[in-house]
Amino acid sequence: LASKSASQDANPNAPTIQVLQQLCDYYTRVNDHWRTTAYRKAIATLRRQPTKIRTEDEAFLLPNIGRRIAAKIEEIVSTSALRRLTYATSDPLDRSLALFLGIYGVGPPTAHRWLAQGHRTLSDLLASPPPDMTPHQRLGLHHHADLNTRIPRAEAAAIAALVRAEAAALDPAAELLLGGSYRRGAPSSGDIDLIVTRRGTASADELVPLLEDLVRALERKGVLVATLAEGGSKWHGCCVLPDEEYVAAFGREAPRERPVWRRIDFLLVPEAEYGAALIYFTGNDIFNRSLRLLASKKGMRLNQRGLYREVMRGRNRVKVTEGELVEGRDERRIFEILGVKWREPGERWC
């Protein structure tokens, strides 16, 4: 995995992708779904190229890259800039919009509403909080800087090790796996995604008491510092790597601005659903969407619990039954049954 993430850094199209991603983010902010999708697909294509794409014609020959995006790729490579992006993001309103959308718990409707109410900066929001601000958004606002800092791979691993030790003390048979972008080999992650499982479990309910004890133990240790969502088979919140653990993991004193608040998600998964859950929680989201689409084209249905066959559909393709479970526990088997060549987590960026 380490070599995978290294080769990702060394992607010859990384600088181009970085600029296109910013324009894609802009289109997401202004709710332009069509352009957002077009850019995401083009970026996915570029990411797979072994050589640097320099010209419009070269780019246009690739799948999922139209004339206009192809021209922008050439503009980025030849001028190291993109006029469309400079124009879009020089608008102060867009800057405020981007800022507000970076607050945990704030989606487009809220961000647009706060703009309409006259707020422009984080200090505005802190000084005169909008009356509709929820407790989660307040938390997101107060920890804005922390929660917008990427989590280095080593820190994610150190936090996971801490959680794993705590879980082992509660239940030696518990198994924890770091999923999400970490499992895909990313050098840094937006949050920490942990799958919790145990051999012989048929339902996530069997793991709920373990999760409750684990959360309490980690709160006492000062590792979990806020709860954002809990219930059913998941727990979402914030965590920190305590200073002593930082020293143990990195062999040097913790910087003064620590500890940084991190987002952490737990997902309870019974053994019977482990393979399907691994696929889901490893992602990325685009890869998941394409696998699900493929499953439905083959008369099957894939979700985070399993792969199902013979889904009965009524009028308008509305689902009538969930169908019969074909495979849930084995990740590789799900790929095989779908007729997809196995892809290592590091190859699932789209």
Distance from C-alpha of 332 to C-alpha of 337, rounded to nearest angstrom: 9
- With CB under 5 A as the contact rule, the residue among 56, 74, 75, 265 that binds Mn ion is 265
Q: Which of residues 190-219 bind ligand DCP (CB under 6 A)?
A: 190-191, 193
Residue of the chain from 193, 245, 273, 327 that contacts Mn ion (CB under 5 A): 193
> CB of 109: closest distance to Mg ion in angstroms?
24
72 part of the active site: yes
Closest by alpha carbon to 145, among 2, 296, 259?
259
Smallest Cα–Cα separation from 104: which of 145, 64, 56? 145
**Rounded least distance, CB 277 to Mn ion, Å:** 13
- Backbone φ and ψ for 228, nearest 5 degrees, come out as -110, -40
Could you give the CA distance from residue 180 to residue 158 in angstroms, rounded to a whole number?
A: 16
- Check whether the bond before 259 is cis (ω within 30° of 0): yes
Query: What letter represents residue 140's amino acid?
Result: G
Question: How far apart are the C-alpha atoms of 100 and 305, rounded to whole Å?
Answer: 34
Q: Is the CB of residue 73 less than 8 Å from the CB of residue 38?
A: no
Binds 288: which of Mn ion, ligand DCP, Mg ion, none (CB < 5-8 Å by kind): ligand DCP
Identify which range of 30-38, 187-195, 217-225, 246-254 contacts ligand DCP by CB under 6 A. 187-195
Work out whether 140 is an interface residue with ligand DCP (CB under 6 A).
no
Out of Mn ion, ligand DCP, Mg ion, none, what residue 284 binds, judged by CB under 5 to 8 A for its kind, is ligand DCP
C-beta closer to Mg ion: residue 75 or 193 = 193
Looking at the chain, how many residues does it have? 350
Question: What's the token pair of residue 42?
Answer: 């083009």
| Interaction partner, residue 324 (Mg ion, ligand DCP, Mn ion, none; CB < 5-8 Å by kind) | none
Residue nearest to Mg ion (CB): 180
Per CB under 5 A, the list member of 56, 74, 75, 193 interacting with Mg ion is: 193
Task: Using the minimum distance from each CB to Mn ion, give the nearer residue, 191 or 327.
Answer: 191
Note whether 56 binds ligand DCP by CB under 6 A. no
Q: Which of 72, 221, 297, 298 is catalytic?
A: 72
With CB under 5 to 8 Å by kind, the binding choice for 166 among Mg ion, Mn ion, ligand DCP, none is none
**Nearest distance from C-beta of residue 183 to Mg ion, angstroms:** 9
Nearest to 302 by CA among 283, 284, 328, 270: 328
> Are 289 and 304 within 8 A, CB to CB?
no
In the stretch 173-192, what mask flags binding to Mn ion with x, by CB under 5 A?
Answer: ------------------x-
Q: Are 197 and 305 in contact (CB under 8 A)?
A: no
| 201 CA to centre of own chain | 26
Rounded to the nearest whole angstrom, what is the least distance from the CB of residue 181 to Mg ion in the complex? 5
**What stretches of 251-297 show up as alpha helix (H) in DSSP?**
274-282, 285-297
* Structure tokens belonging to residue 98: 């981007």
Q: Could you list the residues that contact ligand DCP (CB under 6 A)?
A: 180-181, 186, 189-191, 193, 280-281, 283-285, 288
User: Would you name the residues annotated as active-site residues?
Assistant: 72
Q: Could you list the residues that contact Mg ion (CB under 5 A)?
A: 180, 191, 193
